[in-house]
Structure 1
Amino acid sequence: MPVVVTDIKRADAEAAASLAEFGVATVHEAQGRIGLMHQRLRPIYKGAAISGTAVTCTLPPGDNWMIHVAAEQCQPGDILVAATIAEAHSGYFGDLLGTVLQARGVRGLIIDAGCRDIADLEKLGFPVWSRSVCAHGTVKETLGDVNVPVSCGDAIVNPGDVIVADDDGVVVVPRGTEAAVRAAAQARIDKEEANRARYVAGELGLDIYNMRERLKAKGLTYITQADWENGA
């Protein structure tokens, strides 16, 4: 029986919102390289960087009815995650639905299907990460679920998890781990900034990361051009 779960537990709002500043790549690395959605999900325009708590829904092929249903369950700071029950590329979402979600304080949409009206959505400032861009419309006939666990972009998303999305893609942070991931991401940023200063000063990664002995142990050999030409 199709269901709508109305009282989901959400990740800590402050921690969820703060993860956007670190970016998808850093968050993905900070939590042990897990949670990354498939690279087929791409932003419809460049430059958007968001994070927030997931509201989920499932969509039958060519039918966007449940996006309308899910909109009612969205709160400020949420990100809607829409997963199709079979591969689909129709334009499930456009500028009117973008207006609906934006009015409810939703930060963006992640949809493993098609999106349309992308120029209007960019003007609206409502970011979407989608599987494809397609003008083909949808109907409103078949039920799905709202706020149940879904597989979107080959990653499992539970309602209330944290979603981080930017030009690099989309990553899922399980609810309850957001504070630890934020701390790990900050530590990673601090380390990278220290190393960046060393790069600017002229040091090489070979020395900063102590790579030379490992390369030698793997069998990497340095020879002169003359020796190379002589078959050494």
Structure 2
Amino acid sequence: MKPVIVTDPPRADLDQVARLADYGVATVHEALGRSGLLSAGLRPIQDGVRVGGTAVTALCWPGDNLMIHAAVEQCREGDVLVVTTTSPCRDGLFGELFATALRHRGVRGLVTTTGVRDVADLRALGFPVWSAAISAQGTVKATAGAVNVPVVVGGQLVRPGDGILADDDGVLCVRREDVPSGLEKARARLEKEAAAREAFATGQLGLDRYGLREKLEALGVRYLTAEEYEKEQA
């Protein structure tokens, strides 16, 4: 890894990302073919918060938050800071002081594969965080990393400027080029879900609505009475 700070990378349209976030991570994930979910054990430290913004990435060394300080300068209104490390680290690289600085710059939240600390203060501040751990373990500021370079988080490539959606269900990365089409697909998905919800509310079963009885039959699933089942088991 070459130490570097990339300034002003291209970003997805912020209004479009915010509208996409309104659909929710689960709906957008399904609409995009179940792609982009950051499966890195990331969980929110708060409940009921939904954010959408553009990624600023920070690649740090384990136990070292120097590059988060550098990343703060590169953040602007509507960004979401995405932090990861060159090898696994659960130390508390981020706390309330960082959040205070990022709020001043209009940053909408943090996503990190590391730990965070000052959790009560972060909640009181209303700064949304999705992290892999909570840890009071402190850090140093000694080794150069990178800011605004592509990083891999939970098996997904996150590029600076990509759309980041986060809520109670997890964190999703949407390639900046895919945000406009993602809006169309998410809208169609929501309409489909609304129709299914109305059908279920009137008693229709998923087995019938989705043609799953035929699938069960094709898979060799049989319906037996309790008496028939007991006889077969005897």
User: Shorter chain as normaliser: what TM range?
Assistant: over 0.9
Q: Distance in 1 between matches of 2:87 and 2:219?
A: 46
Report the aligned-residue RMSD. Answer: 1.2
Shift of 1:27: 1.1
- DSSP 3-state at the match of 2:97: helix
Q: TM-score, normalised by structure 1?
A: 0.97
User: Quick check: 1:82–1:112 contact (8 Å CA) kept in 2?
Assistant: yes
Aligned residue in 1 for 2:146 = 145
Code of the residue aligned with 1:204 in structure 2: it is L
Contact 1:65–1:139 (CA under 8 A) maintained in structure 2: yes
Counterparts of residues 99-138 of structure 1 (less than 5 Å): 99-138=100-139
Spell out the pairing of 1:82-231 with structure 2 (5 A cutoff). Answer: 82-231=83-232
User: How much has 1:220 moved relative to structure 2?
Assistant: 1.1
Tell whether the 8 Å contact from 2:111 to 2:131 is kept in structure 1 after alignment.
yes
Q: Following the alignment from structure 1 to structure 2, what is the Cα–Cα distance between the partners of residues 163 and 7?
A: 17
- Structure-2 residue corresponding to 1:58: 59
The whole-number CA distance in structure 2 between the counterparts of 1:226 and 1:114 is 55
Deviation, 1:39, is: 4.4
Equivalent-residue separation in structure 1 for 2:228 and 2:115 (angstroms) = 57
> Do the aligned partners of 1:6 and 1:73 also contact (CA within 8 Å) in 2?
yes
- Asked whether the 8 Å contact 1:4–1:146 carries over to 2, the reply is yes
CA contact (8 A) 1:39 1:169 kept: no
Structure 2 Cα separation of the partners of residues 208 and 34 of structure 1? 25
Give aligned pairs, total.
Answer: 232
**Alpha-carbon offset, residue 20 of structure 1:** 1.5
CA distance in 1, matches of 2:33, 2:232: 44
Q: Residue type of the partner of 1:148?
A: V
Paired AA for residue 117 in structure 1: D
Within a 5 Å distance, the mapping from 1:34-73 to structure 2 comes to: 34-73=35-74
AA aligned opposite 2:62:
P
Equivalent pair of 2:40/2:113 in contact (CA under 8 Å): no
Q: Which digits, 9 at most, give the CA deviation of each residue in 1:47-83, with x for residues without a partner?
A: 2111110001111111111111111111110000011
% same residue: 52
Retained in 1: the 8 A contact 2:90–2:135?
A: yes
